[in-house]
Every structure is written in structure tokens, then in C-alpha cells.
């Protein structure tokens, strides 16, 4: 008997009885993507088959826009017999009501996927999230957008689902070495995401769809015996003999835990200070900082798709740009086609921007961070201070708040005005709801940042004809690209280098760079705890 495992939806499909599969790859026109009759004929022709007795499913799909005629790169899995296919679920939870408990601090992608993986391996996850549930967060986001009121515990960064829930939902990762990307994607499908994320080269769920998926994850955690506690903030830790012993929640309740996953995200600055106060080692880490630039989506489509616009068969165009300026990298970050720029401050007296896109990416604007690498060595004499990069990040965000009028208005400058060192007198319409204030970027950033940004935009304008336009607007700052502090851990045990039972995890600890990599890191921390428990 020949067994075949194939991919479809959120499941592994296991075929028996000598059913065989092949992979076929070719290019087609965008308008042929949905034509199943054409696709079957093309597959038959490519494989030289004599019969129509076969099935096929998409394996991978991407756009090739390098030439004037745009093509779609296709990869299909083809089954040579029409037989029933048995579905094998990609997620297999157990009831863990009476199993050993693991504390998970944070309900972002790392915390949620860690909790779900606990259900698989037989551990009881107890999740503590400082913010509110995913639906209640919406009211606080509305106040932030409309009234410039920042709730420090419930905002775009804090709350169920973490920063990714209401700030985009892009699922691709540059690193395939972090772990099982495919498993993470299949879990998203299991909890309600479209099957397309298993196929598209740059999978994207969309901010409008993520909240319900997050709710399904939480309900599953509760159904199988786990716990999820909202408005439950980690306020202290107790360590004895270099091992974690207890954690304090909301400055009033002490709980005993031998294993704690710290999945607090890149903006939980109080956690860094708490660890430092308790003598738990943290370190300054390089990060990146700059601006978020907004163009019209039509312009980006025109540049990338050679003038092909308003196309029902092609998704809105994205871009990825990178250059070296004076020995340092400057690059686009978190590019959002058909997207919106959001106010992502986590404290009242700061301005922070980020971008997101709905699932259809049908907003008229396109935005992307353009950032400069920052390292502790940029601050001579302070390079060994664990807070040196964080303090710089905070200073830039505070300056933006001050120069824009002490509200959530964002400092803004037209792109060509910035390059030519002119103050902008007016602006085109922006997706940033709180509003724009005309500010010259040179008053915000130090010369080593602003001069590199200026040169980078000139270079990007040469790489993308039409990109360097005064119809584009810079919004400052794009500052939460990654954590400016790392929490060092043992790569073998995943525990803190000095504290047993403390598992620094994902973006907040410096070990991930997005939803998928954070989710994978959460699962890896659970595997490490499982292995540790079974050795004891």
C-alpha cells in the first residue's frame, strides 16, 4: 500500500489504497486563476495525463510582476485517482483540567499558541492578560482614535490577541528556521481563517477577521480545561535559589508556579523595569526606528503592476525596499497594501504609529514603515546600559507628542518636502484618524537617523519610479518595530540564563518578529517545559 499525505484547508489529508500524488508548477494569467476547467486542462497537459480522473488542490501561489505581462506562479498537488480522502485534524487537544499548570503572561500570538499547544501535550495553561478581551478593546481603540485618550492597559498593543489583532494580521515570516510555519498556519485555518493563507506566498488574515479567530482560540482553551484571565497584570515575581517560585497579579494576589512563560510583547516596558529591579538579567538590543510613509494604493499599483489598475484578479500591490546608507541598513517594514495608519501609543504622553490592512486590502491608501537600524553602540558611554535603546525610543515618541500639540495628532511632512528640507503647508487626505500636524522631521530625529532616511528615500525613488512624490506623506514615528531590550535565555532549555522556570518568549524577549514567529516561539517554550517536566 502506498500512503499519501496531502494539504487541504486546515487539515492533513491522508489517502490510502495506492492513491499517488504529484506536484506540478507553471505560470498562468491572473484571470485564469479561478477558471477550474482551464486549470484542470493545463495540469493534464503539463503532466501528460491521458485521463481526467484526477483531483488537484493549490499548494502555493504568488504574483510575478517583473515584466509588463503579469503572471501568477502556480504550484498544485495532483492526485491521480478520484478516491475518498480521510481528514486528519491539525489540532488535537486533550482535557487538561487536572494536569500540571503553566503560567502564561500575555495573550498575544505567543501566549495563545503556547496555551493551545499546552492542550496538545497535556499541560494546563493559565493565561494572564493585562488588557481586555478582544471585543472590549474596541471601545478603547475608538476613544484613542477619536478623543486621543490612551488606556495604558487596553490599546492597539495590549489586550487579547496582542498587537497583531488590531494592527494587521500579516502571517509571513522571513525565517523558515524558527519552527513549523505550516503548523501555525493550519491552526489559524482550524480556528476560522481562510484556506488561502496556506497557499499565498504572503498570507494575510486581516484585522477585520482576526478578532473572531482569537475568540475561537480562547473558547477552545477554556473548553479543554485551561484558564484565561483578563485585566490581570503581572506586577511582581519571586525567585528563590535561582528558580521562579511565585508571581503577583494586579499588586494583590500571589500565585505559585514552577514554570512561567513571559510572552508580554515588545511594548510592556514595565516588565523590563520589574525584571531589572529584581536583579533578573536583561540586555539592550538593536532595533529600528523611522517613519511610516503613506502613498495612494493606485500609485503603488501603477508602479508595481506597470499601469494595471483596479484589477479584480490581482491583489493590491506591495513593495519591499532596502538600501545601505553610510554603512547602515534602511528598509521598509510592515508594508500594508490598501491599509490604514493607526495610533499605537501605550501611554498618554507619546505618539506611536503602526499600519494595518483589512482582509480585502481595499482601503485607498498604502503605507509602510521606513526605518533605520539603531544599536546600543550609537550611544557612546551608555552602550552597556540595558535601557539605552528603550530610553531613546521613549524620547522620540515623547518628542512627537510634544511637537504635534500634546494629542494623538501625528507629526507629518510631505515626502518631497522632507527630502528638500521644507516644511509642509498642507496635506492630502490621510488614513490616520486623529489628524496630522506639520512638523519638520529634522526637529524630531537626530542627524544620524534623519540624514539616512533622506538618502534612502532618494534611493527608493530611483528603484520605484514615481515613489518619490509630494503626494506621499511621512508620519512619525514608526518606533515599535521590535523590542529594544532582550531577555537572555538558554537556547537549549529556553529558560532565562540565570532563572530556572522563567521562559522569556517571542517579541518582548527579543526572539520573534511577527505573528507567526511569535506563535512558533510560544509552542517551542511549551515543548521545553514538557521536556523539563518529563525529565524530573
How is domain 101-282+488-535 classified at the architecture level of CATH?
Answer: 3-Layer(bba) Sandwich (3.50)
Three-state SS for 166-229 is CCCCECCCCCCCCCCHHHHHHHHHHCCCCHHHHCECCCECCCCCHHHHHHHHHHHHHHCCCEEE
- Could you give the CA distance from residue 340 to residue 353 in angstroms, rounded to a whole number? 10
| Residue listed under C-alpha cell 515599535 | 480
pLDDT of residue 83: 53
Q: Is 198 left (phi over 0), alpha (psi -120 to 50) or beta?
A: alpha
- Could you give the CA distance from residue 355 to residue 167 in angstroms, rounded to a whole number? 6
**DSSP structure string for 67-116:** SSS-EEEEEEEEESS----EEEES------TTSPEEEEE--SHHHHHHHH
Parallel/antiparallel/unpaired status of strands 473-478 and 410-414: antiparallel
Is the model's pTM score more than 0.85?
A: yes
- Could you give the CA distance from residue 184 to residue 15 in angstroms, rounded to a whole number? 23
Q: What is the largest CA-CA distance in the chain?
A: 74
Q: Which among 436, 529, 515, 520 is positioned nearest to 206, based on CA atoms?
A: 515
pLDDT of residue 79: 86
The structural domains of the chain, with segments of one domain joined by +, span 4-89, 101-282+488-535, 284-478
Parallel/antiparallel/unpaired status of strands 502-504 and 260-262: parallel
Residue 29: other Cβ atoms inside 10 A: 13
Let me know: does 91 contact 190? Beta carbons within 8 Å: yes
- 79 CB contacts (<8 Å, ≥6 apart)? 4, 6, 15, 19, 20, 21, 54, 55, 56
Backbone angles phi, psi at 478, to 5 degrees: -100, 100
Residue 477: cis peptide before it, omega within 30 degrees of 0: yes
Let me know: does 392 contact 379? Beta carbons within 8 Å: yes
- Could you give the CA distance from residue 404 to residue 420 in angstroms, rounded to a whole number? 21
Q: Which among 61, 65, 70, 76 is positioned nearest to 24, based on CA atoms?
A: 76
Listed as ranges, residues in the chain with pLDDT below 50 are 1-18, 84-85, 175, 178
- Could you give the CA distance from residue 133 to residue 218 in angstroms, rounded to a whole number? 10
Mark out the alpha helices in 247-387 (DSSP H runs): 269-277, 297-304
- Could you give the CA distance from residue 236 to residue 247 in angstroms, rounded to a whole number? 6
Q: Which among 297, 467, 488 is positioned nearest to 370, based on CA atoms?
A: 467
pLDDT of residue 181: 87
pLDDT of residue 88: 61
- Classify the C-alpha dihedral 207-209-211-216 as positive or negative: negative
- 166 CB contacts (<8 Å, ≥6 apart)? 137, 141, 156, 207, 210, 211, 342, 356
Let me know: does 169 contact 160? Beta carbons within 8 Å: no
pLDDT of residue 17: 43
Let me know: does 226 contact 127? Beta carbons within 8 Å: yes
- 234 CB contacts (<8 Å, ≥6 apart)? 105, 128, 130, 247, 248, 249, 264, 271, 274
- Classify the C-alpha dihedral 112-113-114-119 as positive or negative: positive
Distance of CA 27 to the CA centre of its chain: 30
Amino acid at each position: 500500500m502506498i500512503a499519501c499525505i496531502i494539504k487541504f484547508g486546515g487539515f492533513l489529508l491522508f489517502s490510502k489504497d495506492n492513491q499517488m500524488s504529484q506536484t506540478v508548477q507553471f505560470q498562468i494569467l491572473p484571470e485564469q486563476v479561478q477558471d477550474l476547467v482551464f486549470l484542470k486542462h493545463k495540469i493534464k497537459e503539463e503532466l501528460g495525463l491521458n485521463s481526467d480522473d484526477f483531483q488537484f488542490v493549490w499548494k502555493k501561489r504568488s504574483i510575478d510582476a517583473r515584466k509588463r505581462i503579469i503572471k501568477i506562479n502556480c504550484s498544485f498537488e495532483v492526485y491521480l485517482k478520484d478516491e475518498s480522502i480521510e481528514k486528519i485534524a491539525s489540532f488535537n487537544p486533550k482535557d487538561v483540567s487536572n494536569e500540571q499548570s503553566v503560567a502564561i503572561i500575555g495573550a498575544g500570538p505567543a501566549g495563545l499558541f503556547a496555551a493551545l499547544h499546552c492542550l496538545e501535550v497535556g499541560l494546563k495553561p493559565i493565561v494572564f492578560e493585562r488588557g481586555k478581551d478582544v471585543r472590549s478593546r474596541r471601545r478603547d481603540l475608538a476613544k484613542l482614535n477619536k478623543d486621543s485618550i490612551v488606556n495604558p492597559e487596553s490599546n492597539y498593543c495590549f489586550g487579547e490577541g496582542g498587537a497583531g489583532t488590531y494592527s494587521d494580521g500579516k502571517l509571513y515570516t522571513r525565517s523558515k528556521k524558527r519552527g513549523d510555519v505550516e503548523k501555525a498556519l493550519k491552526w489559524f485555518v482550524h480556528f476560522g481563517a481562510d484556506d488561502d493563507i496556506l497557499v499565498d506566498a504572503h498570507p494575510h488574515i486581516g484585522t477585520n477577521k482576526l478578532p473572531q479567530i482569537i475568540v475561537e482560540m480562547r473558547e477552545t482553551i477554556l473548553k479543554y480545561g485551561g484558564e484565561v484571565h483578563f485585566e490581570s497584570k503581572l506586577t511582581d515575581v519571586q525567585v528563590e535559589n535561582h528558580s521562579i517560585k511565585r508571581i503577583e497579579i494586579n499588586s494583590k494576589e500571589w500565585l505559585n508556579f514552577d514554570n512561567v512563560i513571559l510572552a508580554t510583547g515588545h511594548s510592556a516596558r514595565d516588565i523590563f523595569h520589574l525584571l531589572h529591579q529584581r536583579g533578573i538579567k536583561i540586555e539592550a538590543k538593536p532595533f529600528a526606528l523611522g517613519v511610516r510613509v503613506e502613498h495612494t494604493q493606485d500609485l503603488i499599483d501603477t508602479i508595481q503592476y506597470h499601469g494595471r489598475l483596479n484589477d479584480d484578479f490581482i491583489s493590491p500591490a506591495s513593495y519591499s525596499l532596502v538600501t545601505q546608507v553610510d554603512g547602515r541598513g534602511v528598509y521598509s517594514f510592515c508594508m500594508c497594501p490598501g491599509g490604514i495608519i493607526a495610533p499605537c501609543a501605550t501611554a498618554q504622553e507619546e505618539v506611536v504609529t503602526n499600519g494595518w490592512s483589512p482582509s480585502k486590502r481595499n482601503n485607498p491608501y498604502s503605507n509602510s514603515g521606513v526605518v533605520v537600524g539603531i544599536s546600543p553602540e550609537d550611544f557612546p558611554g551608555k552602550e552597556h546600559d540595558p535601557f539605552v535603546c528603550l530610553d531613546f525610543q521613549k524620547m522620540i515618541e515623547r518628542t512627537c507628542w510634544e511637537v504635534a500639540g500634546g494629542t494623538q495628532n501625528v507629526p507629518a511632512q510631505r515626502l518631497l518636502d522632507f527630502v528638500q528640507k521644507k516644511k509642509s503647508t498642507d496635506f492630502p487626505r490621510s488614513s490616520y484618524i486623529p489628524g496630522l500636524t506639520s512638523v519638520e522631521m529634522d526637529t524630531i530625529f537626530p542627524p544620524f537617523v534623519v540624514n539616512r532616511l533622506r538618502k534612502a528615500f532618494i534611493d527608493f525613488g530611483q528603484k520605484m519610479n514615481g515613489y518619490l512624490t509630494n503626494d506621499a506623506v511621512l508620519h512619525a514615528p514608526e518606533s515599535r518595530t521590535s523590542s529594544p531590550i532582550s531577555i537572555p535565555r538558554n537556547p537549549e532549555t529556553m529558560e532565562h540564563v540565570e532563572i530556572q522556570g522563567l521562559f522569556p518568549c517571542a517579541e518582548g524577549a527579543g526572539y520573534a518578529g511577527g505573528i507567526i514567529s511569535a506563535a512558533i516561539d510560544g509552542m517551542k517554550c511549551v515543548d521545553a517545559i514538557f521536556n523539563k517536566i518529563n525529565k524530573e
